[in-house]
Structure 1
Amino acid sequence: MLERLFPRRAPAPTPLPQPNAQLALGALLVRVALANREYLASEVAHIDRVLAATFDLKPLDAAKLRAECEALERHAPGTPEFTEILREEIPYSERFALGEAMWGVAMADGRRDPEEEEQLLAIETALGLTEEDINTARKNALGGL
C-alpha cells in the first residue's frame, strides 16, 4: 500500500567519466572483444595486459581501468569519438602499436572472427592508419593462421 503512495525512485545513474586516451583505448579494446558477442577470459586478460603495458599500470590498476572501460563502452558514443581522442593525443607510431594490440585482443581466443576483423578495420581506419600498416598488423597477428 505504501509503495503505491510513495513509489521508490530508481537511483540516478552514475555519470560516465569523460573519455581520455586511457579510457578511449580501453573502450575500443573491449569493443573489439565484444564484436562477436563473446567476451572470453582470454580476451579480458589480454586487454588487462595491453592496458598495463601501454600505461605502465600494475595488474590490479589495469583491471580497474578495464572495468571502467567496459561501462564506458556500453553507454558511450561510437568509435569515431574514441578514435578522435587517440588521434589527437597519441603519435602515429604509437597508434600503429595500438592497432597491433587490438589484433592481439581479437586473436586472444586463438581463432579468426569476421565480426572482430570488421570492427578492427573500422577502428584502424578511424585511427588514421595507412592501408599498408593495417595489412602489416593483420599479417603479424595472424602469423601462421
Structure 2
Amino acid sequence: MIAALKSFFADLKVEEKTEVIDIELAVAVLLTEVGQADSEMSVAEQQKIEYMLMKGFDLNEEEAKTLLLKAQLQQDKSVSMQTFTSVLKDQLNYEQRVRFVKGMWLVAYADNQLDPFEDYIIRKIADLLYLKHSDFIQTKLSAESQSKSK
C-alpha cells in the first residue's frame, strides 16, 4: 500500500511541469486577478491593464494584448496568487511593490466603481507583498483621488 502511494506521488512529480514565471507575467496575472475579481473584466479595466503593461515593460499594443491573454489563461488555471506575488517579492524593492499596489487600485477604479471583491483581492495581494497597512491605505486613497480627477 505504501509503495503504491509512493509510486503515485512520484508519478505526479514527473508529470508536473515547472513553468518559470517572469516578472511581466506575474504582474499581468495579478492585474488580471483584480480586473476579474467581480467576475467580469470591463473594457476600461482591460484597457488600463494593457496601458500599464505597455508603459511598465516597454511593450507595443500587440505585445501587451498577447501578454494579457497569456495572463488570463495562467490565472484561470492558477490555484494560488502566492506563485505570482513571490516573483514580485523577490524582484521588486519595497517602493516598487507599493507602486504596483497603487497600479492595482487604478485598475479597480478604471470603471469608476470599486467592487468589494476587488478591494479584497488587492488587500490579499498587498499582504502577500508585505506592504505596511499605512502604505496600502495611502495607495488606495491616491488611486481613488487620481481616478476622480479624470
Please give the TM-score of this superposition, normalised by the length of structure 1. 0.85
Question: In 1, distance between residues paired with 2:102 and 2:61?
Answer: 20
Local SS of the residue matching 1:101 = helix
Question: In 2, distance between residues paired with 1:16 and 1:67?
Answer: 20
Q: CA deviation digits over 1:50-90, x for unaligned, max 9?
A: 11111111121111111111100001231111101110011
Residue 109 of structure 1: aligned partner:
111
Where do 4+ consecutive residues of structure 1 move more than 6 Å? none
Picking from 18, 21, 39, the partner of 2:20 is 18
Q: What aligned pairs does 1:116-135 form with structure 2 within 5 A after superposition?
A: 116-135=118-137
For residue 87 of structure 2, what is the amino acid of its counterpart?
I
- 1:32 is aligned to 2:34: yes
**Identity of matched residues, %:** 26
Unaligned runs of 5+ in 2: 1-16
Aligned-residue CA RMSD (Å):
1.7
Please give the TM-score of this superposition, normalised by the length of structure 2. 0.82
Residue 78 of structure 2: aligned partner:
76
Residue 94 of structure 1: aligned partner:
96
Local SS of the residue matching 1:128 = coil
Number of aligned residue pairs: 131
Question: In 2, distance between residues paired with 1:139 and 1:31?
Answer: 20
Q: Which has the higher helix share?
A: 2
